Structure 1
Amino acid sequence: MVLLFPTILDLATVKKDHLAFNYKFDDRFKFSYMFNKKKYTTNYNDVNENILQHFMYDDREHYAQIAYNDENGWDAKIYYNQRRIENPDYYVVNPTNVEWEKSDHKQYGLDTKKVWRSDKATGLIGISAKRETYKNDNQKFKTFGDSSSILKDPAHFGTYALNNYSVYGSYDRKLSRATNIIFSAREDLIRSEAGDYNEFLPQIQAITKFDEHNSVYASVGKSFRMPTFRNLYYASSVVVPNPDLEAEHGWNYEIGYKYSENGRRLNLTAFRIDIKDQIVAVKNLVDNQSYQTNAAKYRNTGIELRYEQDVDKHFTYNVGAVFAKPQRMYKEGQAWIDTLGRYQINGGVNYVNRDFSAALNLSYWGNRFKNGVSSEKITVTEISSPLLVSNLHLGYNVAKNVTATFDVDNLFNRKDIANVGGTSNNNLYYTMGRTFRVGVNYNF
């Protein structure tokens, strides 16, 4: 069983709490529970720059699961997940007029599967059932961000519900001493207020080993994604719902090469993604309101390279890069436009020595694009600076079952542009400054 008690504190404006609990009844049954809490607070002036306001965001998540696994290939789980958000958006420090919001998102269901193995093949078949519900209650200012304006009438959304029933399976067959081929498929039956869907999702993979160190692989598979209830129905002063949002469908293609020998690992992959009705978030260029929409098409072609090496029994490092050209067509017949990012460079080092461990990971994102949409036009804004994500982790086993941890996010305290809102770089969202996380893990 593991208990984790880390907390993040950033000048009393950001606090994150985490608790994890695992209990093993016997060799077949186990129970797990996890709780996450995130609370953000800050003070600022309202849109008129003359009334001090306070922002608070309280986000709590619960995950519970009972799992069963035995030596005969049976695997099953029953789960329950809940996310509750309370968000008194904007109010005067001594409030007489309070804007507020509460939402509750639940998922619960079961998933069970059976695996068969022989000398030449492995088969799997499974079934799952899930129910998902969402509701939201809020009361907003009539004028966005202005706490001196009157409140609108309370708004209620939901409870909305979705039922998802699935049958899935796979078959891994050895064609020769060097080659395996894997067929897999999933049939999803979805029933909800957003519409009914029957989706068949096939995939085929092939792997050929030239020797024990070198291999090549290829994969083709279909993807499917439903819009969330919040995408469909949630509304506020700056968010517009889209109950007509469609599910997205696509195909993913991948071919690659792997090498592994003497602590060195290399992976080179070429990929292609084609999606229809992609669900994307945009801002209207006229009223600056955000909403979800279906882009007619999305495509992305690129390559990914990753190299890892174990220098010795204590020290390892990795480097990698992704170069791609993601593009969207928002309406059928329009031109393809650039979106997201063109390249990403990653690197990391890890060190372990007896009771001490350390890890540093960096990720550099460049040549990024943001799209804005209105009924008249589509814009492409290139974000003016790159983004550097940096994380440091330190751990020390202070006792037999106790590990102390220390983490730093945004190690170099950079103020990078995380995203662009609206139509220009005058409306920016920046990364959070350097934050620290201290934790204690207890195993028993």
Structure 2
Amino acid sequence: MKRKAKQGNFGKNILMTMLITGTVFAGSASALAAEKDVESYTLDSIVVTAQRYATEELDTPAAVEVFTQEQLVATGGTNLQEALKFGTGLIYHAQGPRGTSQGTMTSKIVIRGVEKGTLVLIDGVPLNQSGRYNLDDIPVETVERVEIIRGGGSVLYGSEATGGVINIITKGKRTNSVRTAFGNYGMQSHAFNTQAGKLGISYSYDKTGAVDNISDPSGGRPEGMYYNIIRGEHNTANLRYDFNDAMYLSYTYGENNAHYVYRYSKQQDANGKDIDYKNAIHTTKNNNAQLHYDKDDWKAVLSYVRREQETRSKTATKKSGNYIPGVTTSDSKGYDDKSLGMDIQKKWELGKNIGLLGFNFQRDTCDYKEVDKTNMAQNRDYERNMYSFYGQYNYELNKLSNLIVSARETWTGSTTAGQNYNKFTPEIEYIHKLDDDTSAYAKAGQSFMMPTFSQIYGSGNIIGNATLEPQHGNHFEIGLKKNTNTHMWRLAVFNYKINDSIESKWKDNYTEVEYTNEDIKNTGIELTCAIDMGQGWKANWGASYSNPKKLVTINDAGTITEGSWRNYYGKLQLNGGLNYNKGKWSGAINANYLGERTRDNDAQASMKPQLFTDLNIVYKPTKNEKVYLNLENIFDRRDIVSTSTSTFYNLGRNVMVGYEFNF
């Protein structure tokens, strides 16, 4: 079946967006570029790839934020899920501390309030599979920089970029180094990097030990159940071989294991302790292979991405309303997601103008396997081909102004049970240089996201919904960027409405989930500034305010009227950082506050504000040595890091001490 997006007043809104461009004074998030020293910013020109080819950030009509590897390390995060939580307009969403995943319940970085709308790319290759991307599996050791592009990016990058794009650029040549670190809560973090001619090798290991009561029993399923971590481990190995300046091959293998014990607070054992309701081990194995070619304005990549996820659990047997301690039933279930992809693009320099054409193919398969409590095996296989043609034309109106028109046509084929879709997404952008250091822009475009296999066909406790529409939205943004010798000012004002957003709902028994289409919308403003204060001091701050809402499609037990808009996520976000780098000492302190939060459930209860803090101090006794101390959650807050009915908490105040040696 073919489905078409609702066009609405898209054309009229494009014109309105263009007319009000001049009312904006400064745009986008602080863009931070690479330096050799740790934890420092530079206010020099930044080159980004938001347009699918290199442009200066000041000349890019989008809200872009760039984190270098050094800046990611300075946040104290050992994986990208943790390191990106201090970004402007980014909401950290997790089912426990340090981004540890629980099988299919994985952590997310929510951009501008769109939960299912973050497209994660590794060197331009989509990482998303079955709606998951596992940023907690990516160590900062393997990353050169991360570009965050806020706002709908489906026209150039494809499905799932309805909130924005996280583009991860991995390291080319490695610095020979070894690092080790230990902390409380049983934390460990170790890494090794080496370069042998054309071959670069990186390996990292990260562990979190036992942490009890990471969730609130009142939101458990069944009510009274809460989560405890026994251990969480991540292993990642990355290889890259450069054949020449135009071609390289990379391969990454990652494996994470998380052991959880779920306890039931409404029943105690003979020793007066809450009984063990479930004992579960979640294992995920990731394979990512890419062959890249980049020469003479041609770019091509062949990719193979595979994620194997398995959950093995033992659940207490229930009799006469009570669980019987020690009497359990076993089950296992998991996914084997595979994506084979190809992307080819060509750029043309047409005098003062630039043209771009590209083709993308991706074949997705998913093998779902389950052995239930009665030892009955269920195996289901799904498949889908996705094709896209995309293009862009950057036309110079005059020496100060450019008009950029982009479009993508995407369709699916060979889909299980014939659920095929067809989407056309256009975008128009305008950028004007007020002077060499100031630019204003306006943009209007559309985005889309295809339903996943489990959402359409069901799996585990998910009931399939074959009538799901693709998620599609209209996006509008205006902004202006201003650089001075010591400041980078960015302001963005945005509005979007996403029709048929794919949202999950508990069934009446609260044990099964079904996905439905609901509309969401948001209007907001983001202001950021990066400052060079001299004498080794740098600073950055950001403020954003928005009003994300979701349209209720059914009457939820009389608590919310059908057809009304309800609040969704948080509204006010304040973030900032202070950095020092001089001589043998360097350090960084970062904070991110999220307030005016609302639960995404029927009760619509307000939530306490969230405040993330981190202090990182580095001392270099010699040129090749580095000793560091990282203190996270300085005020020892017990913050809620989820927004759904279940309440999950972050890790308490924690300290990690490490040593690094370069050779």
Indicate whether the TM-score tops 0.5: yes
Please name the residue that 2:460 is paired with. Answer: 236
Larger mean CA deviation between 327-336 and 175-184 belongs to 327-336
How far apart in 2 are the matches of 1:29 and 1:87? 38
How far apart in 2 are the matches of 1:48 and 1:228? 38
Please name the residue that 2:169 is paired with. Answer: none
| Pick aligned residue for 2:290 from 65, 80, 84 | 65
| Pick aligned residue for 1:82 from 306, 320, 341 | 306
Is 1:36 matched up with 2:254?
A: yes
Aligned amino acid, residue 173 of structure 1: Y
How far apart in 2 are the matches of 1:49 and 1:404? 46
Q: Closer, same or farther in 2 for the Cα pair 1:155/1:351, shift >3 Å?
A: farther
- 1:222–1:252 CA contact under 8 A, matched in 2: yes
How far apart in 2 are the matches of 1:306 and 1:356? 27
- 1:370–1:382 CA contact under 8 A, matched in 2: yes
- 2:412–2:422 CA contact under 8 A, matched in 1: yes
Please name the residue that 1:7 is paired with. Answer: 206
How far apart in 1 are the matches of 2:350 and 2:301? 25
How far apart in 2 are the matches of 1:438 and 1:208? 48
Deviation at 1:399, TM superposition (A): 8.7
- 2:201–2:237 CA contact under 8 A, matched in 1: no
How far apart in 1 are the matches of 2:453 and 2:584? 46
**TM-score, normalised with respect to structure 1:** 0.84
1:165-201 Cα offsets, whole Å, 9 max, x none, are: 1111111111111111111111112122362222111
Deviation at 1:300, TM superposition (A): 0.6
How far apart in 1 are the matches of 2:618 and 2:249? 26
How far apart in 2 are the matches of 1:272 and 1:326? 10
For structure 1, the residue ranges without an aligned partner over 5 or more in a row are 142-150, 373-378
Deviation at 1:319, TM superposition (A): 0.8
Please name the residue that 1:190 is paired with. Answer: 412
Q: Closer, same or farther in 2 for the Cα pair 1:409/1:198, shift >3 Å?
A: farther
Please name the residue that 1:112 is paired with. Answer: 344
Please name the residue that 2:30 is paired with. Answer: none
Is 1:431 matched up with 2:650?
A: yes
Q: Give the 3-state SS of the residue equivalent to 2:435 in structure 1.
A: coil
Q: Give the 3-state SS of the residue equivalent to 1:245 in structure 2.
A: coil
How far apart in 1 are the matches of 2:617 and 2:203? 15
Is 1:291 matched up with 2:514?
A: yes
1:401-440 to 2 correspondences below 5 Å = 410-422=633-645, 427-433=646-652
How far apart in 2 are the matches of 1:188 and 1:435? 46
Is 1:180 matched up with 2:379?
A: no
CA RMSD in angstroms comes to 3.1
How many matched pairs? Answer: 421
Aligned amino acid, residue 579 of structure 2: N
Deviation at 1:391, TM superposition (A): 4.3
Identity of aligned residues (%): 29
Q: Closer, same or farther in 2 for the Cα pair 1:401/1:107, shift >3 Å?
A: farther
Deviation at 1:62, TM superposition (A): 1.7
- 1:9–1:436 CA contact under 8 A, matched in 2: no
Q: Give the 3-state SS of the residue equivalent to 1:371 in structure 2.
A: coil
Larger mean CA deviation between 199-208 and 274-283 belongs to 274-283
Deviation at 1:74, TM superposition (A): 0.8
Q: Give the 3-state SS of the residue equivalent to 2:596 in structure 1.
A: strand
How far apart in 1 are the matches of 2:201 and 2:580? 23
| Pick aligned residue for 1:245 from 457, 460, 468 | 468
Is 1:348 matched up with 2:574?
A: no
1:49-86 Cα offsets, whole Å, 9 max, x none, are: 5453422111222211110111x111111111111112
Is 1:226 matched up with 2:226?
A: no
How far apart in 1 are the matches of 2:658 and 2:467? 45
Deviation at 1:357, TM superposition (A): 5.2
1:132-147 to 2 correspondences below 5 Å = 132-141=364-373
**TM-score, normalised with respect to structure 2:** 0.58
| Pick aligned residue for 1:259 from 471, 477, 482 | 482
- 2:255–2:283 CA contact under 8 A, matched in 1: yes
1:308-323 to 2 correspondences below 5 Å = 308-312=530-534, 314-323=536-545
Structure number with the higher strand fraction is 1
Please name the residue that 1:327 is paired with. Answer: 549
Structure number with the higher helix fraction is 2
Is 1:276 matched up with 2:276?
A: no
Deviation at 1:339, TM superposition (A): 1.6
- 1:10–1:436 CA contact under 8 A, matched in 2: no
Deviation at 1:123, TM superposition (A): 1.1
